[in-house]
């Protein structure tokens, strides 16, 4: 584990007003590299990940009080953060939050721009108590109220159709398929926010002044489609759904193999790749497809013949054969495949860290590897309000009596049932998730 003193963001304190994924994922990346990320939480308006809970608790009424601490997303988005329970809609909670902000370096939020202003946490209000703050907000459409979409609220899944991403998703003869289960806009805006935050800190170090960083999630998502937008502007070409195919050549697609829902992805659009693939498929594909123009013009029939050939193979065996021949091919991985993927496990993608509520928890690691300062995970996701008293005392400087008064007035709250601990169902077979980690029964 890396020494915290060596991490590049050591000494940076982040005040995070995060919902779901966008700013929480950015905050998680910063926490991994040493920032002290304070997740500000509310019982009046809890983060959606607190509402989800866990399916394995549905028949455990005795554990209902701690359901909000058990969603896998709690650790997935909030590992190594500290949770502070403050009710910002109360005068007492707002005053305490502003005191805390005076001691922070970064303000990070993906609340709607209007919501932040109504709460009294717009840039001018925050800068009034901390002129040196690096204020990073990433609402759906930016914070300029003169812009046409400013009044709109947004959510990751509805950003995708708005920018046209859904129009690219699906097969040509079908309606747009949508990508609501993953919400790439959230992750794209989070990565933009991470870069923007570090840039803002660098600017502050250079100029000695704080900065307002205004990010539009709409624009971070639109950036993914830049080449297609420019192509239309230059040539008038309108691209739409093409399933798993390529606009540059054929064959490229996903083909069935033996077994239930086992598929292989194959791309052989270059002449040399087709020659190699032809040597493997033999007479299963008509000789006329050796002409690239026919392959492109009659992709339906080509895919049918390749699919008839692939369907007689076990998917792992066929992937190995094609890769050995130099063809771009891979199993269309399921969640179970990824769990045992040797590259994923070798990169230590799945992490285990202590959890105040669950004993220990598993979550995704960080894809960014710095050679000398690779980062660290101090703990899994915190319980709601777990660090309230600690932060208000150590950072803000409030006495125990003042904190007690703040809590009794409804401006703050602490972790409920601090002694209640549950364990996830996988705790006795965690080695399947994270090889080399001992199961609970073996400890």
Could you report the per-residue pLDDT of 234-265, keeping only the tens digit for each? 999 888 888 999 988 999 999 999 999 999 99
* One domain, residues 307 and 354: no
Buried b (16+ CB within 10 A) or exposed e, 89-99: ebebbbebbbe
Q: Which two tokens stand for residue 216?
A: 């539009």
Q: What is the pLDDT of residues 39-76, one digit of tens each?
A: 999 999 999 999 988 888 888 888 888 999 999 999 99
Q: Which two tokens stand for residue 245?
A: 């195919």
- pLDDT value at residue 2: 47
Identify which has the larger pLDDT, 26 or 158: 26
Residue at 223 is within a domain = no
What's the chain's length in residues? 443
Contact in structure between 274 and 268 (CB atoms under 8 Å): yes
Q: Predicted confidence band at 1 (pLDDT cuts at 50, 70, 90)?
A: very low
* One domain, residues 192 and 69: yes
Query: Alpha helix locations (H) across 83-183?
Result: 91-101, 113-119, 123-129, 156-163
Residue at 244 is within a domain = no
Q: Domain boundary at 324, 340, 356, which?
A: 340
CATH number for the domain that contains residue 300: 3.30.1540
Q: Domain boundary at 340, 365, 390, which?
A: 340
Nearest alpha carbon to residue 382 among 109, 143, 132, 24: 24
* One domain, residues 265 and 135: no
* One domain, residues 149 and 52: yes
Q: Which two tokens stand for residue 19?
A: 């919902």
Please determine, for residue 443, whether its predicted confidence score (pLDDT) is greater than 70: no
Residue at 243 is within a domain = no
* One domain, residues 334 and 303: yes
* One domain, residues 41 and 123: yes
Query: Among 59-63, 182-186, 211-215, which range has the highest average pLDDT?
Result: 211-215
CATH number for the domain that contains residue 111: 3.40.50.10540
* Omega before 433 within 30 of 0, i.e. cis: no
Would you say the C-alpha torsion 82, 84, 88, 94 has a positive or negative sign?
negative
Structural domain of residue 360, as residue ranges? Answer: 4-215+348-442
Beta bridge partners of 134: 106, 211
Q: What domain count does the chain have?
A: 2
State the average pLDDT over residues 373-378: 92
Residue at 239 is within a domain = no
Residue at 227 is within a domain = no
Q: Predicted confidence band at 228 (pLDDT cuts at 50, 70, 90)?
A: confident
* One domain, residues 310 and 364: no
* One domain, residues 330 and 364: no
- pLDDT value at residue 263: 97
- pLDDT value at residue 3: 54
Q: Domain boundary at 340, 362, 381, which?
A: 340
State the average pLDDT over residues 401-425: 94
Q: Predicted confidence band at 438 (pLDDT cuts at 50, 70, 90)?
A: confident
Residue at 224 is within a domain = no
* One domain, residues 385 and 420: yes
* One domain, residues 377 and 327: no
- pLDDT value at residue 105: 98
State the average pLDDT over residues 86-105: 98
Nearest alpha carbon to residue 154 among 205, 222, 93, 209: 222
CA angle 174, 179, 184 (to 5 degrees): 145
Residue at 205 is within a domain = yes
Residue at 222 is within a domain = no
Contact in structure between 400 and 394 (CB atoms under 8 Å): no
Query: What is the DSSP-derived secondary structure letter of residue 382?
Result: P
**Which run of H or E residues covers position 408?**
helix 400-408
* One domain, residues 158 and 264: no
State the average pLDDT over residues 387-414: 97
Q: Quick one: 241 exposed, middle or buried, by C-beta within 10 A (0-12, 13-18, 19+)? A: middle
* One domain, residues 298 and 353: no
Q: What is the pLDDT of residues 148-157, one digit of tens each?
A: 999 888 887 7
pTM, two decimals, is: 0.91
Region of 136 on the Ramachandran plot (φ > 0 left; ψ -120 to 50 alpha; else beta): beta
- pLDDT value at residue 17: 96
């Amino acid at each position: 584990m890396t020494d915290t003193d060596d991490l590049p963001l050591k000494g940076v304190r982040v005040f995070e007003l995060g919902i779901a994924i966008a700013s929480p994922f950015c905050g998680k990346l910063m926490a991994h590299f040493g920032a002290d990320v304070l997740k500000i939480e509310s019982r009046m308006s809890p983060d959606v990940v607190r509402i989800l809970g866990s399916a394995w608790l549905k028949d455990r009424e005795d554990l209902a009080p701690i359901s909000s601490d058990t969603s896998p997303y709690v650790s997935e988005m909030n590992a190594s953060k500290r949770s502070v329970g403050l009710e910002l809609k109360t005068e007492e909670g707002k005053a305490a939050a502003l005191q805390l902000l005076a001691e922070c370096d970064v303000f990070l939020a993906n609340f709607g721009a209007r919501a932040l202003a109504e709460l009294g946490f717009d840039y001018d209000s925050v800068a009034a108590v901390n002129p040196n703050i690096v204020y990073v907000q990433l609402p759906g459409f930016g914070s300029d109220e003169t812009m046409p979409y400013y009044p709109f609220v947004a959510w990751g899944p509805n950003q995708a159709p708005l920018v046209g991403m859904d129009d690219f998703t699906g097969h040509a003869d079908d309606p747009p398929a949508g990508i609501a289960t993953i919400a790439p806009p959230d992750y794209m805006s989070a990565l933009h926010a991470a870069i923007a935050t570090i840039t803002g800190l660098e600017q502050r170090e250079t100029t000695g002044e704080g900065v307002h960083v205004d990010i539009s999630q709409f624009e971070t998502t639109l950036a993914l489609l830049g080449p297609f937008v420019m192509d239309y502007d230059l040539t008038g070409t309108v691209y739409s759904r093409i399933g798993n195919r390529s606009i540059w050549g054929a064959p490229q697609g996903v083909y069935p193999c033996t077994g239930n829902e086992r598929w292989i992805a194959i791309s052989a659009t270059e002449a040399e790749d087709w020659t190699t693939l032809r040597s493997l498929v033999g007479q299963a594909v008509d000789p006329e497809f050796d002409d690239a123009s026919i392959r492109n013009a009659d992709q339906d029939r080509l895919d049918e013949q390749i699919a008839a050939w692939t369907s007689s193979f076990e998917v792992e065996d066929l992937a190995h054969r094609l890769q050995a021949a130099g063809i771009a091919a891979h199993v269309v991985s399921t969640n179970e495949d990824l769990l045992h993927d040797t590259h994923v496990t070798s990169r230590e993608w799945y992490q285990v860290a202590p959890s105040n509520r669950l004993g220990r928890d598993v979550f995704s690691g960080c894809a960014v590897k710095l050679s000398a300062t690779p980062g660290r995970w101090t703990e899994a996701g915190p319980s709601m309000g777990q660090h309230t008293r600690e932060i208000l005392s150590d950072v803000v400087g409030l006495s125990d009596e003042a904190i007690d008064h703040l809590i009794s007035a409804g401006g703050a709250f602490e972790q409920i049932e601090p002694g209640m601990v549950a364990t996830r169902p996988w705790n006795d077979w965690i080695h399947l998730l994270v090889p080399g980690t001992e199961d609970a029964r073996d400890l």
